[in-house]
Amino acid sequence: MHEAVQRVIDDVLGPLLQSDASTIELVAVDENEVVVRVTGHAAFGVGADYVRTGVIEPALRKVVGDDCAIHIKKTIPTAKRRA
């Protein structure tokens, strides 16, 4: 299942979210749960709730089914400190 979820992220969700200044990363997968991390507009933008519930979750559901829990964590990217 890990490979199938990673393929959806790499081939579909990643490029789609990158076009909206966002990223998605697979954190964990098992038979009962999928955890992904999003940044950018998908995490905190105006339409972030729709992107998570209307785009990311349905795409992952096609791979993992309805019985698997999907957790989408929001992350603020950190900037490197200037020396």
Tokens of 83: 């020396």
Q: Indicate left, alpha or beta for 78 from its phi (over 0: left) and psi (-120 to 50: alpha).
A: beta
Chain centroid to Cα 63, Å, comes to: 14
pLDDT band at 45 (very low <50, low <70, confident <90, very high): confident
Residue 5: per-residue pLDDT: 94
Residue 20: per-residue pLDDT: 85
Q: d(Cα 23, Cα 75) in Å, to the nearest integer?
A: 10
| Bridge pairing between strands 33-40 and 22-30 | antiparallel
Give tens-digit pLDDT for 49-76: 999 999 999 999 999 999 999 999 998 7
**Is the pLDDT confidence value at 35 over 80?**
yes
3-state secondary structure 8-58: HHHHHHHHHHHCCCEEEEEEEEECCEEEEEEEEHHHHCCCHHHHHHHHHHH
> Across residues 12-41, what is the average pLDDT?
93
Task: State the residue for tokens 């490197």.
Answer: 80
Residue ranges covered by each domain of the chain: 2-74
- The CATH architecture that domain 2-74 belongs to is 2-Layer Sandwich (3.30)
**Is the pLDDT confidence value at 33 over 90?**
yes
Residue 31: per-residue pLDDT: 87
